[in-house]
Amino acid sequence: MRKFLLHPFWLMVVPLMLFNPGEACALQVHGEPEGLYVHQIAHLHYIFALGYFYWDIRRTSFTGRGWGYLQMFCLLMTCWNLMAFIGHIAGAYLHPTSLVQKDHYLTTLLLEPFTLTKYIYYVTKLDHLIYVPAMFCLFIGLRSFYHSVAQEDLGGQR
């Protein structure tokens, strides 16, 4: 190791880098689209994690209604993620002039002519129609787990 560090190459290069840095680009600037990209990558990561979770629940063959609701949650959440992913893309492609407020925010219109991007944007804006059932499935799944365990304890006490 010592022989490697004392090699003539390093003995020349290291002082050169220290005394003549030039544009070393030590800190990278994160521009505007990067946030969207990170968010989209997070969606993809979430989709992968949900799929893996779903597969693992099936693999482990845990029985009971709770596990079924949890699988349903995974499927709905995956759908939501896809919907959100697509919605974000559609939002990015939607021209800012496509949405117009007549006199108030609540009277906002998506202007004609309607394109596929506009339709997709509109439909994906209704993502809570999937997200809420997914969260409901998570809720009843955990409640089911809780009741089954509580029943076990009750049975054990008897």
Distances in whole angstroms, Cα of residue 3 to Cα of each of 7, 12, 14, 16 = 6, 15, 16, 20
Task: Give least dist CB 27 to another protein, A.
Answer: 18
Which residue's CB is nearer to another protein, number 50 or number 72?
50
CA atoms within 13 Å, Cβ hemisphere of 156: 6
Which residue's CB is nearer to another protein, number 10 or number 62?
62
Task: Give least dist CB 50 to another protein, A.
Answer: 7
Please classify residue 63 by burial: count the beta carbons closer than 10 Å to its beta carbon, then call 0-12 exposed, 13-18 middle and 19+ buried. exposed
CA quadruple 126, 128, 133, 134: dihedral, nearest 10: 120
Residues in the chain: 158
Could you tell me if 134 and 77 are in contact, meaning their C-beta atoms sit under 8 angstroms apart?
yes
Task: Give least dist CB 12 to another protein, A.
Answer: 43
Which residue's CB is nearer to another protein, number 15 or number 101?
101
Which residue's CB is nearer to another protein, number 10 or number 146?
146
Task: Give least dist CB 41 to another protein, A.
Answer: 9
Tokens matching residue 109:
């219109």
Interaxial angle between packed helices 65-93 and 32-60, expressed in degrees from 0 to 180 and rounded to the nearest 10:
160
Task: Give least dist CB 17 to another protein, A.
Answer: 34
Q: What residue ranges bind another protein (CB under 8 A)?
A: 35, 38-39, 42-43, 45-46, 48-50, 52-53, 56, 60, 99-100, 102, 104-112, 114, 118, 122, 125-129, 131-132, 135-136, 138-139, 142-143, 145-146, 149-150, 153
